[in-house]
Amino acid sequence: MEIVAKQRVFEGELVRIEHASKTNNCNMTASVFLPPLAVSHVSSHPVPVLYWLSGLTCNDQNFAQKAGAFRAAADLNVAIVMPDTSPRGYGVADDPDGSYDFGLGAGFYVNATSPTYALNYQMYDYVVSELPALIESNFPVNQRRAICGHSMGGHGALVIGLRNQEKYCSISAFSPICNPTECSWGQKAFTGYLGNNQQAWLEYDATALLKRGGSTLPIRIDQGSEDEFLSNQLHPEAFLKVAQDKDVKIDYGLHTGYDHSYYFISTFIDKHLAFHAEHLFNC
């Protein structure tokens, strides 16, 4: 692992790392925010970690630059790990059409099985296993983890949290793709990464996973009413209906006037951080 940049922010540090990923068979970049308690110039102390998964077209820097999360994370003594949204670099396959919703910047947090993508697009295993192991052996963090994300990353957070409930203390999402097997973003990604076997798709569909296994973890979802993708891609109503049927409580907020952008995320990120801190320190 190599540290490629380090900056002080809110008495903590934003560290950008690069490492050779065995899971994705390429170099991966990630950003890590360490709160003051974890930074050695104060007095290094292990802190819990929130994993943030970004959406389509993002890399590890969008959240760091636009969400305005670090003041609250510093106050709450929570680290934030921000992985990239796909493998990248020489030889990594991209969408042949170069579209924004598949390939580079759009790994959808699945383990690809189709021949073109399987070598590098193993983002599910990367986020669930390789990245936490790397972070936990290189930074002053403990094994209390939470997971959060936006849009495609909200889908990733719900799927990864629901499938690995023993590994996380809480799950939250902004504007998540809740039922990807039923929307065009998800169908395109799953066809490309997983092939036509729709049984395999269900392992990456939060609504199907909740229906099958329920949740013992606290879940918070926030959604903007003016989100341009709400009616055709996100389908929170499908997820909320299953939650109701299964008696799983979702802390859901529909916020009038907000769109899909980081302005929405920056408005509510402090609430998500407080939600996760409460569970991280009591789990």
- Whether the CB-CB separation of 158 and 178 falls below 8 Å is answered with yes
Applying CB under 6 A, the residues found at the interface with ligand GSH are 55-58, 62, 66, 100, 150-152, 260-262
Active site residue 261: no
Nearer to ligand GSH, 100 or 198 (CB): 100
C-alpha 159/C-alpha 209 separation (Å) is 7
Catalytic residue among 260, 272, 276, 279: 260
Nearer to ligand GSH, 59 or 215 (CB): 59
Question: Least CB distance from residue 264 to ligand GSH, whole Å?
Answer: 10
> Which residue do the tokens 């999360």 mark?
69
Catalytic residue among 227, 272, 276, 279: 227
Q: Which contacts qualify for 99-102: CB closer than 8 Å, 24 or more apart?
A: 100/56, 100/57, 101/56, 101/185, 101/188, 101/189, 102/188, 102/189, 102/192
Nearer to ligand GSH, 129 or 261 (CB): 261
Active site residue 227: yes
- DSSP 8-class letter at 228: T
Catalytic residue among 54, 151, 172, 215: 151
Nearer to ligand GSH, 130 or 222 (CB): 222
Residue whose C-beta lies closest to ligand GSH? 55
Question: Least CB distance from residue 11 to ligand GSH, whole Å?
Answer: 26
Nearer to ligand GSH, 98 or 115 (CB): 98
C-alpha 68/C-alpha 270 separation (Å) is 9
Share in percent of the chain as helix, strand, coil (round to 5): 40, 25, 40
Question: Least CB distance from residue 224 to ligand GSH, whole Å?
Answer: 12
* Residue 236 neighbours by CB under 8 Å, 6+ apart: 176, 178, 221, 223, 230, 252
C-alpha 177/C-alpha 56 separation (Å) is 11
Active site residue 151: yes
Question: Least CB distance from residue 225 to ligand GSH, whole Å?
Answer: 16
Question: Least CB distance from residue 68 to ligand GSH, whole Å?
Answer: 13
Picking from 230, 212, 194, the residue whose alpha carbon sits closest to that of residue 109 is 194
Catalytic positions? 151, 227, 260
